[in-house]
Amino acid sequence: MINGILIVNKEQNMTSRDVVNKLVKIFNTKKIGHTGTLDPLAEGVLVVCIGNTTKLCELLTSKYKEYIATIKVGIKTDTGDITGHIIEQKECYIDEDKVKEVMTSFLGKSIQEVPIYSAVKVNGKKLYQYARNNEKVELPKRQIDISKIDLINVTQNEITFKVLVSKGTYIRSLINDICQKLNILGTMSKLIRTKQGSYSIENSYKLEDIAKGNYKLLTKEDVLSDLEIIDINQNLYEKIKNGSIIDKNFKDDLACFRYQNKIIAIYKTYSKDITKAKPYKMFL
């Protein structure tokens, strides 16, 4: 079985699930998962785990993501992007200095409302199903973190910006909040994920190239290189192999344990006793 992490450059008009389905056929394995959904409108970096590296999906999903987004000014849609139905339209004046000021105000941690057209579930039902059935539902709110935001270009019809955000941030919601603060109408017309963690679009592969064999897989050792790696003896190996809680001998919340040049497990701080560590992901 093939094992590894693949950095895909997703094209527009495909769901993240569509990408996985195509890779299932290419690699002839069903053990494939992606690490952060991209809307069909969006393109760019989609980190995919194959084989035993699917255990890393949760860890890789938590990485910060960088986007370049474009706002079409003067219209508002029901979905928050250009694929939706226009529900409001008016001429808007844009002041570049005001746009910079407003965007800067979103830096740091804040609470964001999840858009109604999303796959987040409320009471076992996806939000977009409520929207399509014209049913009212209280939209969930999440804490997000915007660590960087830069204006790229402004015209009277479009605003383009680059932003670095935490897991769970909806760029459509951010755009809606920006437009409300600017007192203009706007909707997302283009979105490119340029980076996820340390994986950038420059080092990604399109599906057509992957199908031809033109790609390089990353190993779990490659993607875990930013974590502390601890070499262990046979005695500790036996304890870890059995999933034991052990004394914590690493600095951060997570660390990798390596035996005979292979990473065998990731351990995390034990919440009930921070001097101990418990299994997080096992590769035995």
> Which three-class secondary structure state does DSSP give residue 269?
strand
Output the six-digit token pair for 262.
């292979």
CB-side neighbour CA atoms (13 Å) of 262: 6
Per DSSP bridges, beta strands 186-196 and 43-50 are parallel
Q: Do strands 254-259 and 246-247 pair parallel, antiparallel, or not at all (unpaired)? A: unpaired
Between helices 96-104 and 171-182, what is the axis angle to 10°? Answer: 130
- Active-site residue flag, 39: yes
Among 136, 147, 201, which Cα is nearest to 169's? 147
List the catalytic residue out of 18, 39, 78, 177. Answer: 39
Rounded Cα–Cα distance for residues 196 and 199 (Å): 5
Closest CA to 33 of 63, 64, 60, 65: 60
Judge residue 217's burial from the number of C-beta atoms within 10 Å of its C-beta, 0-12 exposed, 13-18 middle, 19 or more buried: middle
Q: Which two tokens stand for residue 273?
A: 């006793």
Residues facing residue 192 across a β-bridge: 43, 68
Q: Cα(first)–Cα(last) distance of the chain, in Å?
A: 15
- Annotated active-site positions, please? 39
